[in-house]
Amino acid sequence: MEGGAEGRPGGERADAGLPAWGATKVCVRYGRTVALSDVTLAAPAGQVTAVVGGDGAGKSTLLRCLAGVLAPDSGEIRRPAKERAGYLPASSGIYPDLTVAENLDFRAQGYGMSRRLATQRAAEYLDRAGLTPAADRLAGQLSGGMRQKLAVIAAMLHQPELIVLDEPTTGVDPVSRSGLWWLIARAAAQGCAVVLATTYLDEAERCASVLALDAGQALAAGTAEEIAAAMPGSLRAVDGRPAGDAAERSWRRAGRWRVWEPDGPPDQDGGAIRPDLADAVTVAALAREMRAGRPEGSES
């Protein structure tokens, strides 16, 4: 259930001893399917927090809980009052039959913003996002990248305390991704807590903290550097896929094969490399699979 720490108007915290916004031991089930199992996330003000994972990892479910769209079966959600939060769902939430300007005006009215303030902020954000020339175009006629930038602007127009963005850069070209990141960084610089889901681990490395999910469970959490440093064992890079047991602990990346050595330093083949966030998350998923496949009663 959603706990009693929901924010009050004006940004006052319900419990100053807890992180401003986030989730604690949240569980969500869809019938027999466990979407989230005891997931905890802190979303400090003025920071961008990334939630990463593959399809079915639980990213969207967690973000829907944070946005107040979905009530968890158990655990606590700490979020501001509805009017002090912004949410970008995976569908973008933009009305295709309204123009860019009309979409923002409609959102501003929903937030109770004055027309003068809404017009001022919309003009600034559209200008910095390169959307001013498209202000009178129907949103349905925008490119994917332009539509996503509009959706992010709509979510941050009222300068909320928490912005929740569900994969805002997926399928967006590199130039538009750069513009989106300017908007996201701007929101955090203004003191907002930003939580975004992404499948791009290079983007997650830019964030202040990262939560990696797999099958509804937390794989790793912390800064990108902390997650990489905590990776057990070591890595080596080889030109071809290894044979035997090592093949189950290997994956292809950047034209070569990474091999995880869970019990210590690389073997005689050499090629030791320093892991980054992508390596550490991959290893965490491999380690989880190995534990799940270990016979009952064997050593951990």
Q: What is the pLDDT of residues 183-203, one digit of tens each?
A: 999 999 999 999 999 988 989
Of 16-20, 93-97, 132-136, 184-188, the one with minimum mean pLDDT is 16-20
Confidence of residue 224 (pLDDT cuts 50, 70, 90): very high
pLDDT per residue as tens digits for the range 79-106: 999 889 999 998 878 999 999 999 999 9
pLDDT in tens, 143-168: 988 999 999 999 999 999 999 999 99
pTM here? Answer: 0.85
The Cα 101–Cα 119 span in angstroms is 9
Which regions of the chain does DSSP assign to beta strands (E)?
21-30, 33-43, 48-52, 74-78, 85-88, 162-166, 193-198, 209-214, 217-222, 234-238, 250-253, 256-261, 272-273
In the chain, the percentage of residues whose pLDDT exceeds 90 is 70
The one-letter code for the residue type at 182 is: W
What domains can be seen in the chain, in order of their start residue? 21-222 (3.40.50.300), 224-293 (no CATH)
What is the spatial order of strands in the sheet that 209-214 belongs to?
A: 85-88, 162-166, 193-198, 48-52, 209-214, 217-222
Query: Using an 8 Å Cβ cutoff, are 177 and 206 in contact?
Result: no
Instruction: Kindly tell me if the per-residue pLDDT of 63 is higher than 60.
Output: yes
